[in-house]
Chains A and B, each alone.
Chain A
Amino acid sequence: MSVQTKPDRVTVRMYNVGFGDAFLLLFPGPERPFRVLIDCGTHSASPRPRPISEVVEQIVTDVTDEDGQARIDVVVGTHRHQDHVEGFRQAAWGDVEVKEVWMPWTEDPNDPEARMIREKQSSSARQLCLALERLDADPDYLALAANSLTNEKAMRTLHAGFKGSPRHRFLPLKEGGSAIETDALGQVRVNVLGPSRDPEVIRDMDPPAGESYLRLLGVNEEASSARSPFPASWQLSVEEVDDNPGLKAAIALDKRDRDRLARQAAVDAFALAVALEKAVNGTSLVLMFELGDAHLLCPGDAQWGTWHHILSDTALRALVERTTFLKVGHHGSHNGTPKEFVETLQERRKAEGASAELWAMISTHPIKMWKEIPKAELVEGLEEATKRVARSDAGDKSPVSGFSHWDDAVIEAEVPIR
């Protein structure tokens, strides 16, 4: 039934959800392992190796004790992207007993600043998706934007849906250091490395203003021509200009110029979708779990701003440099893991040789329209730092030593504690 773990190992199970994340961490405990579930979701544009309901079933089975009750000590929702939370829609979660739920501080219902960011991101996502649909825009852009739509059901599960009245923590806290005080995980030490409350990092959470979407939609078009600041008598149509040689010479704009002007005035749908994606990724919770020699870094989808903050802080940097297990950020994209960090890991391997143990897991699936995820150079860079790099989409056809493969459903790593 439930998955056990060896007394001197931390077990990490990566569930194959396609392009998405679902990780279960198991730390040795007195009667049963301490269990941490980090995210459960798949991108709407992702191929599904198996339906998410099956994945959830598998997870629940893995955490069900002998008495038939499913228990998870900590559920973490790193950020509210679909590919990280969509799986929490499943009804099965209602029967799972959870002690604590951890989310980024931007999810705190009682924090006014958090509420502002949340609402801005939610409404931006809604408006952008609406605009892109109405315009029949490139489906790639819509897929990109749809990931940021708030999944009400999933968020409700995280906030109020588990059994056992879990304690909710919105991290990091305003005051205090990076360490979390909790007795839910026994001797395991946890540090929160992001998202910072630094104004620079918060700025990254700001999606583009709503006005852009409305213009994209052309919603304001009729309204604006009705109350155009220019009286009709001053407005000229293109034909009127073309028919009047004097006027045409005076204005001196040929068709190519006019086309360029029109393009300049148009809104860049791609840029908006990217900015929105970046804004939500900016809220990613970055956690470091430590037990003995096992140092597990789970950065969600944190991008440049958060990483920069971590690597510029001496204490936080020292912390991440001890990583023995890395959940590779943002499905292996170029900016989910800074080059600087990979180089540090490579140097560690050179200095310490085989004793520098490192496991890396990438939960990802190639999607045709997005050729740069996962980034080949990043995977190669990680492979230089360690032989133990596993991808969820590799299946058991090319097993990587150091991991256990269970069909193509789960890949398991065992990270030494001593």
Chain B
Amino acid sequence: MSTATAVKVRGVRLRRTVAADLSAVDELCAQVRRLMTENDLGAHAFAIQLLLHEALANAVVHGSEGMAEGRVRCEFRAGRRWIVIEVADDGPGFDWRRASAAPPEGAATNGRGLPIYALFADRVEFNERGNRVVLRRRVDR
């Protein structure tokens, strides 16, 4: 079950708390896709969908691992200058200071989440614990 608050305050905003489940991730990404289309943000659709999928999947797969009823909180907002994605989970976080934003060398099967953030977001910020990420992308990029 998800609780939802959608509020328009000086721009576009969607705030959701969803179960830590990958099907909920797809549903939420689809909602954001529609919101962006309705608000003429289609030029950023690919980048935002990718950033959103990455951040939410990380929160579900890594941030909520082992939790019987994990919850993931997401806020999407867009103003005149910035599109912002915030995703948080209740997990232990990770040591983001030691993670690399460069694509892995060789045929490694993981390690591309942070490089994707770096490629499509203009600013990437983690909280101290590493269980909350804020991704910002310029509208005029």
* B is bound to A: no
